[in-house]
Amino acid sequence: KEAPRLYADEQGQSLVLAWAVASSAAQAEIKSDPALARQLAALQEKEGDYFLQALDARTGKLLGRLLIETGKGSFRITNAFVAGDRWIITDSLNRVLIYGLTGGEQTGKVFGNRAAVSPSGKLLCVENERGQLALYDLASMEKRDQFSFSSPVSFIRFGGDGKSLFVLTANQTVYLLDMSSLLR
């Protein structure tokens, strides 16, 4: 009845559908799931909150559902995707929020406006300042490395094996960074 907002990850693994919690489509889905109904009842304020569903982009299989509380709409979701057993959400406050896929608990938060996760799910890369990339261990959220560029970053993506990071900057310079030492 109501079209959701769509977010697709750049590697084509997941598709996230987002509705306002107050929408009739979200309310119908939440009522059909007792765990979500309990979570919704526990939310302090529902204004501006989101209901998310993640689907496997190849099969359409449901991967998970999540309610996001925004503090009366104090931030908006700008991107969302699923990597392994985690939700990766970027917001309008220049943050990357990490949630568990099944339990929905927040497991991490870092500043940044761009996010990429290695295929193994071990590393998170974010542009936390203009022209600076930070790499985090996704399990512990410990900062593992940082890279600075003379131009803003336009695009980041891990290689298929996760041992390299492709970076394209705004001045059209391409970097291929070796990540193998960080994967140990």
**Mind listing the pLDDT tens digit for each residue in 54-68?**
999 999 999 999 999
pLDDT-derived band at 91 (thresholds 50, 70, 90) equals: very high
The amino acid at 5: R
Angle at 146 between CA 158 and CA 126, to 5 degrees: 50
In this structure, the strands spanning 62-68 and 164-169 are unpaired
On whether the pTM is more than 0.75, the answer is: yes
Q: Which pLDDT score, from 0 to 100, does residue 96 have?
A: 96
**Cα separation, 168 vs 104, whole angstroms:** 33
Q: State what percent of residues in the chain have pLDDT above 90.
A: 67
Q: In angstroms, what is the C-alpha Rg of the chain? A: 17
DSSP code of residue 162: S
Please, how many CA atoms are within 13 Å of residue 41, restricted to the half-sphere of its CB? 7
Q: What is the mean pLDDT of residues 79-85?
A: 93
Mean pLDDT over all residues of the chain? 91
Q: Position of tokens 């309610």?
A: 67
**For residue 109, pLDDT beyond 90:** yes
Q: Position of tokens 């700008």?
A: 78
pLDDT-derived band at 182 (thresholds 50, 70, 90) equals: confident
- Return all residues near 91 (Cβ < 8 A) that are at least 6 apart: 75, 76, 77, 78, 97
Residue 46, Cβ density class (10 Å: 0-12 exposed, 13-18 middle, ≥19 buried): middle
Q: Which pLDDT score, from 0 to 100, does residue 11 have?
A: 74
pLDDT-derived band at 53 (thresholds 50, 70, 90) equals: very high
Q: Which pLDDT score, from 0 to 100, does residue 12 have?
A: 73
